[in-house]
Amino acid sequence: MGFDGRVTRLAWDTLLPLDGAGPLHQRLERALREAIRAGRVPVGSALPPSRALAEELRCSRWAVTRAYEQLVAEGYLEARVGSATRVKWTPPRDGRKTVVPAAGPYTLAFRYAYSTGLFGGVLNRPEGIKVNGTLVTSAMDFPVTGDFETYQTASIVVNLRAGANSIQMFNLDGASISRVDTLTVTPVAEGSCVTLPPTPAKLSGLAQSATLINLSWSPSAAPASCTVKSYDVFRSTNPAFVPSADNEIANGLASAAYADKTALCNLTYYYSVAAVDEAGGSVPSLPFTVSTNACPASSTIQINSGGPAVSSFLADEDFSGGSVVATSEAIQTVNVPKGLPMEVFQDSRTGNFSYTVKGFAPNSNHTVTLYFVEPTFDGVGSRLFNVSINGNAVLSNFDVFLAAGDNDTPLAEKISAAADGSGQYVITFTPVLNDAVLSGLQIK
């Protein structure tokens, strides 16, 4: 028995492998996109209902629904009320070529659009470009446009041969461009910039603290008819790294300096810089090595999730994703550790989110305390979510109402866990039924 005449139910678990990195809904989204582009799920095919596919893949219905929504937004799927979700994507014609009358420099202008979607906080999605099979760049910038109907244009100058040319844009990772509707090819006018800028020289850096490195370099001289518009910075902990979109940490810098505030303590980093003009990016500089200061002795860190600073708790920080929900209801004092400010439970972070807390000695052990209160639902089984620390599951199908015994009743869950090899804790909250929720956290 099949959901569609062309794709049988038996095939879904093999058609959609969910391996790889990232949250489950992003892995499912990536697997569906690749299956559609490869033709394994043909155009026009009806996808299973979200509940049925979730049962087939042994995952949450929420993950399937989020993946469907994202691919509908990207134009791969079409959803209609009262009808099955179907594959809408139209593959490009084989053998499509770009024909120009004469060899020389040409501007490739890509018209595109996308919103942050499931990749909250990702404001640039670099793509790779090949011309006639030769790599031109592996880090062409495509800044976010705001939504899938707001278009911008990204351009690059390349050399084409007379006659037919093949131009290929390729994805570098899961957060890739999905909506490019036109490619305009125009000859570069006389007097235009056609030369890449020289590689930035005299790159240097100095660690200012355990988590801050200041970099500087000599500005690149602009070639004739060109203007050096910006600089891109790349970073790795591998001395043999190749600068690319995968390790780019900053782009569009107007000055020849950068403060890396995302470094981790007691690590050696390798930096490279490239200059950018109207013709594209320069050859990146040779790596410069700099080490951060030793990790400070760990102390108690307390964060008021979704709320302001209160007592010893810091205002909400170090999070990614989610939103804030507040409750005006009186919080019961039962289960509250002595001295804990009740204001911590008045605001919570909800949704699909994570916290990355840095500054601990690598692999050191601490007690992670998670503070919860159920701000909305008044029954068991209304909100379920999973919690992991550094990739290790610590709470599964967690129900705050069930664990606390009532809504507006605070709850503290203490978990013994080790910092990772970089001295940080990545605490991930993944919804199973409705949004995950957290009122505060402490690492001691």
Residues in the chain, total: 444
Q: Do 265 and 212 share a structural domain? A: yes
Which of 179 and 234 is assigned the larger pLDDT? Answer: 234
Position 428 confidence tier, pLDDT thresholds 50, 70, 90: very high
Residue 73 has pLDDT above 60, yes or no: yes
Q: Do 334 and 384 share a structural domain? A: yes
Span 286-312, pLDDT tens digits: 999 998 887 666 568 899 999 998 877
Residue 325 has pLDDT above 80, yes or no: yes
Answer yes or no: is 122 within a domain.
yes
CB atoms within 10 A of CB 238: 10
Dihedral sign, CA of 176, 55, 434, 402?
Answer: negative
Dihedral sign, CA of 359, 361, 363, 369?
Answer: negative
Residue 173 has pLDDT above 70, yes or no: no
Q: For the chain, how many structural domains are there in total?
A: 4
Q: Do 406 and 326 share a structural domain? A: yes
CA–CA gap between residue 180 and residue 161 (Å, rounded): 24
pLDDT at 288: 94
Range in 181-195, 198-212, 254-268 with the lowest mean pLDDT: 181-195
Percent of the chain with pLDDT over 70: 88
> Which amino acid is it at 17?
P
pLDDT at 339: 62
Mean pLDDT of 96-109: 83
pLDDT at 193: 83
Q: Do 159 and 58 share a structural domain? A: no
Dihedral sign, CA of 55, 61, 66, 71?
Answer: positive
Percent of the chain with pLDDT over 90: 30
Are 383 and 374 within 8 A, CB to CB? yes
Answer yes or no: is 296 within a domain.
no
Position 422 confidence tier, pLDDT thresholds 50, 70, 90: confident
Answer yes or no: is 194 within a domain.
no
Mean pLDDT of 230-258: 88
Answer yes or no: is 170 within a domain.
yes
* pLDDT, the chain, mean: 83
Single residue among 157, 187, 217 that ends a domain in this structure: 187
Residue 439's alpha-carbon distances to 224, 330, 383, in angstroms, are 58, 15, 15
pLDDT at 388: 96
Answer yes or no: is 93 within a domain.
no
- 3-class SS at 281? strand
CA–CA gap between residue 349 and residue 390 (Å, rounded): 19
Answer yes or no: is 389 within a domain.
yes
Q: What is the CATH number of the domain that holds 19?
A: 1.10.10.10
Span 403-421, pLDDT tens digits: 888 877 888 999 999 999 8
Q: Do 218 and 119 share a structural domain? A: no
Residue 178 has pLDDT above 70, yes or no: no
Residue 4 has pLDDT above 50, yes or no: no
Q: What is the CATH number of the domain that holds 349?
A: 2.60.120.260
pLDDT at 118: 62
Answer yes or no: is 55 within a domain.
yes
Q: Do 397 and 353 share a structural domain? A: yes
Pairing verdict, β 314-315 and 301-304: parallel
Q: Do 309 and 282 share a structural domain? A: no
Single residue among 87, 107, 138 that ends a domain in this structure: 87
CA–CA gap between residue 347 and residue 326 (Å, rounded): 4
The tokens describing 147, both together, are 């939504």
Q: What is the CATH number of the domain that holds 233?
A: 2.60.40.10
pLDDT at 121: 64
Structural domain that includes position 407: 301-443
Answer yes or no: is 212 within a domain.
yes
Range in 66-70, 106-110, 318-322 with the lowest mean pLDDT: 66-70
Q: Do 310 and 183 share a structural domain? A: no
Q: Do 328 and 403 share a structural domain? A: yes
- 3-class SS at 55? helix
Residue 186 has pLDDT above 60, yes or no: yes
Q: Do 331 and 263 share a structural domain? A: no
Single residue among 261, 291, 321 that ends a domain in this structure: 291
CA–CA gap between residue 231 and residue 258 (Å, rounded): 10
- 3-class SS at 157? strand
Q: Do 265 and 224 share a structural domain? A: yes
Span 247-270, pLDDT tens digits: 889 989 999 999 998 887 778 899
Q: Do 74 and 205 share a structural domain? A: no
CA–CA gap between residue 370 and residue 350 (Å, rounded): 14
